[in-house]
Amino acid sequence: MMEQILKRYFGYDSFRPGQLEVIEKIIEGKDVLAVMPTGGGKSICYQVPALKLDGLTIVISPLISLMKDQVDGLKENGVPAEYINSSLTPTEALSIELGLINGDIKMLYIAPERLNSESFMRLMKVSKVSLIAVDEAHCISEWGHDFRPSYRELKSLRELFPNTPVMALTATATEKVREDIVKELSLREPEIFVSSFDRKNLNLIVEPKKESYEKIVELLKSRKDESAIIYCFSRKDVERIADKLLDAGFNALPYHAGLEPEVRQRNQELFIKDEVNIIVATIAFGMGIDKSNVRLIVHHTFPKTLEGYYQEIGRAGRDGLESDCVLFYARRDKEKHDYFINDLEDNGSKEREKEKLNKVMDYCESRVCRRRQILGYFGEEFKGEKCGKCDICLGLRKTWTPVPVIQKELDGGRRDSAKYDLELFIKLKILRRQLADERKVPPYIIFNDVSLQDMATELPTTPEEFLRIKGVGQQKLDDLGEIFIEEIKKFLSR
């Protein structure tokens, strides 16, 4: 039954490891804490039971942009989903409230701050709530890397719906953070699932920061016309590198808190819609982005925590295709982090932050497999001698080796996907972009790159064949099948 829902609405024939076990516990009415890496399929764990259960599923999500993307994607798949946040007009909000009262909505995305609204809580009392899903649940813990006090208000939902199962989801949580999540959300004897943190499609490279701009240019050339995020420590660095890349002919834009809100929003949307392929940003960028085809993440300055780093590199290769994560390391950059840590008033917080920073530096300076170190940090043992996907295991530690050279030694990714017809893939990308523009949604919501590559490999020319493509469910077949089949037929009849 669950597999039928998965195929009909999301276009996949089977669940990823761990997903079905989580879903089954929710259907049984149990509380669940699921820790899965970014790109590991967390959302399916509450979206599938939401469609199986009677009534409404409430999803707590911290960022407006992420809500909109997820709701747009669900609607494209035929799921009655909505969100309520400050971006709606009063008329739009009223329409959604009526839909909730009438039972026409299966999934509702809200920000945690919404729980302070009396009118919203009254609305929830007349709704049949069958599941509460708390995304980015690490935000509830002071030990987490992105603590948000508003998450502490979520206990009110448990009090309002004492018999409704609560599901907490996060990509990065140490044991201490997991304990906090259980306590602060009042989870009752929860089933705790911790998936492997091993993102096998990510290549992990730490590189000396010397001549970093020239190295960034090399990296971008190796990923020509593909999406990349370059993280910088300061607004000044963001502006400097973005300007240099623009002057050098790259399609790049800046993103940081010092820009006008409308400029930030525009730059983010251009990146999400594939109209700009490089964003140079502070770490303020990315948490609310579900973009599946980011192929390169660069950290121009090493991050302050391994949790934050792992979440940031998790924005690469969410579709499962090979992607590169390059961190530039210089010991002197520690002073930048120390400045802000020493500014903290609470000594306990200061010591925690120093400890986390030292862990990052140990990671960068060690000669041990990067993957083994990161997995060990999250309490997971790496099985195997070499990962074959990091600078240590590839013997690249002493000298800078351009990514195109590294790529020859790596398994999977572009080499495995070389079977598809590149010319047809490009034509399908153009078609996808046209449809996305018409519908005012990001291209990956129409289809991700994996689906297009599968089409360019299997060359489906009938509805039955098209339904077998990865990511094609019944709704996508009904809605888009004929358009894409015609494009494929036209290509084959040249």
pLDDT tens sequence across 449-493:
999 999 999 999 999 999 999 999 999 999 999 999 999 999 999
Considering 141, 160, 194, which residue would you say is the last residue of a domain? Answer: 194
Considering 369, 401, 433, which residue would you say is the last residue of a domain? Answer: 401
Let me know the angle formed at the C-alpha of 259 by 256 and 263, rounded to the nearest 5 degrees: 105
Structural domain that includes position 486: 420-492
The burial of 430, by beta-carbon neighbours within 10 Å (0-12 exposed, 13-18 middle, 19 or more buried), is given as: exposed
Let me know the angle formed at the C-alpha of 456 by 455 and 457, rounded to the nearest 5 degrees: 90
Q: Among all chains, which residue has been given the structure tokens 């502070």?
A: 282
How far is the C-alpha of 493 from the C-alpha of 4, rounded, in Å?
Answer: 35
Q: Among all chains, which residue has been given the structure tokens 């700009």?
A: 276
Q: Do 118 and 40 belong together in one domain? A: yes
Query: What's the average model confidence in pLDDT over 343-361?
Result: 88
Work out whether strand 166-170 and strand 129-134 pair parallel, antiparallel, or are unpaired: parallel
In a domain, 290, yes or no: yes
Could you tell me which of 293, 291, 238 has the C-alpha nearest to residue 263? 238
> CB count, 10 Å around CB of 334?
17
Q: How confident is the model at residue 288 (pLDDT cuts 50, 70, 90)?
A: low
In a domain, 446, yes or no: yes
286 pLDDT above the threshold of 90:
no
Q: Do 334 and 385 belong together in one domain? A: yes
Q: Do 62 and 158 belong together in one domain? A: yes
Query: What's the average model confidence in pLDDT over 277-289?
Result: 84
Q: Any idea what the CATH number is for the domain that residue 140 is in?
A: 3.40.50.300
How far is the C-alpha of 39 from the C-alpha of 199, rounded, in Å?
Answer: 8
In a domain, 413, yes or no: no
Could you tell me which of 80, 79, 363, 348 has the C-alpha nearest to residue 204? 363
| 183 φ/ψ angles, rounded to the nearest 5 degrees | -70, -50
How far is the C-alpha of 73 from the C-alpha of 131, rounded, in Å?
Answer: 20
In a domain, 407, yes or no: no
Q: Do 387 and 486 belong together in one domain? A: no
Q: Do 94 and 243 belong together in one domain? A: no
Q: Do 171 and 261 belong together in one domain? A: no
Q: Do 388 and 470 belong together in one domain? A: no
Hey, which bits of 55-183 come out as E strands?
56-60, 81-84, 107-110, 129-134, 166-170
In a domain, 271, yes or no: yes
Residues of the chain with pLDDT > 90, as a percent, come to 61
In a domain, 17, yes or no: yes
Q: Do 163 and 207 belong together in one domain? A: no
Considering 351, 372, 401, which residue would you say is the last residue of a domain? Answer: 401
412 pLDDT above the threshold of 50:
yes
Query: What's the average model confidence in pLDDT over 433-439?
Result: 94
How far is the C-alpha of 193 from the C-alpha of 46, rounded, in Å?
Answer: 14
Helix (H, G, I), strand (E, B) or coil at 140: helix
Q: Which of 197-201, 227-231, 369-373 has the lowest mean pLDDT?
A: 197-201
115 pLDDT above the threshold of 90:
no
Q: Do 43 and 136 belong together in one domain? A: yes
Overall number of domains in the chain: 3
Q: Do 150 and 232 belong together in one domain? A: no
Q: Which of 138-142, 394-398, 401-405 has the lowest mean pLDDT?
A: 401-405
Q: Do 105 and 218 belong together in one domain? A: no
In a domain, 227, yes or no: yes
The per-residue pLDDT for 415 is: 46
Q: Which of 92-96, 118-122, 214-218, 472-476 has the lowest mean pLDDT?
A: 118-122
pLDDT in tens, 55-77: 999 999 887 777 888 899 999 99
| Reported pTM | 0.80
The per-residue pLDDT for 404 is: 46
In a domain, 463, yes or no: yes
Report the sign of the C-alpha dihedral through residues 304, 309, 310, 315, in that order. Answer: positive
Tokens standing for 224?
């020509």
Helix (H, G, I), strand (E, B) or coil at 123: helix
Query: What's the average model confidence in pLDDT over 319-328?
Result: 92
Q: Any idea what the CATH number is for the domain that residue 470 is in?
A: 1.10.150.80
Mean of pLDDT over the chain: 89
